[in-house]
Copies of this chain bind each other. A is one copy, B any other.
Amino acid sequence: MRKRGQLASADVGRFRYEGLDRTLHERARLGVMASLLTSAEGRLFADLKRVCGLTDGNLSRHLEVLRKAGMVEVWKGFDNRRPQTLCRLSPMGRQRFRAYVRELQRVVRDATPPRRARHGHPTTLPAGWTKEG
């Protein structure tokens, strides 16, 4: 067992993942941002709803969070005389989402240890240790 004193100072806060911005990390908003990232011209509300598997109400609510945070732009207009809502990333949203994704890559790297480090599960502890629950 690793003793307290053996913790390398470089490891302090190593798994804090501060770059995982909470506005972007929420699962539904993550889907919205990812789906908008490759659509520079934006996506209509109805499309966005379908690709993200969200209800009208949920998508509206998450878009509002993202819009207020300056991550997306929401445009209203007409397309073939039908009222439409178009959503697209703001320049800042694009930049912030890319930084977020870089932090996600770090999580993936941390959680994909080299094969030699993939220990099996040890089943025994020294006598006297008890498991909670």
Please give the residue numbers on chain A whose beta carbons come within 8 Å of chain B beta carbons, in ascending order. 1-4, 7, 11-18, 20, 22, 25, 27, 30-35, 37-44, 46-47, 50-53, 67-68, 73-79, 86, 88-91, 94, 97-98, 101, 104-105, 107-108, 110-113, 117, 119-122, 125-126, 128-133
Contact = CB atoms under 8 A, between A and B. Distances in A.
A13 B53 contact: yes
B50 A32 contact: no
Contacts of A75: 125, 129-132
A43 B7 CA distance: 10
Nearest to A77: B129
Query: Which of A33, A111, A121 has the most chain B CB within a 10 Å cutoff?
Result: A111
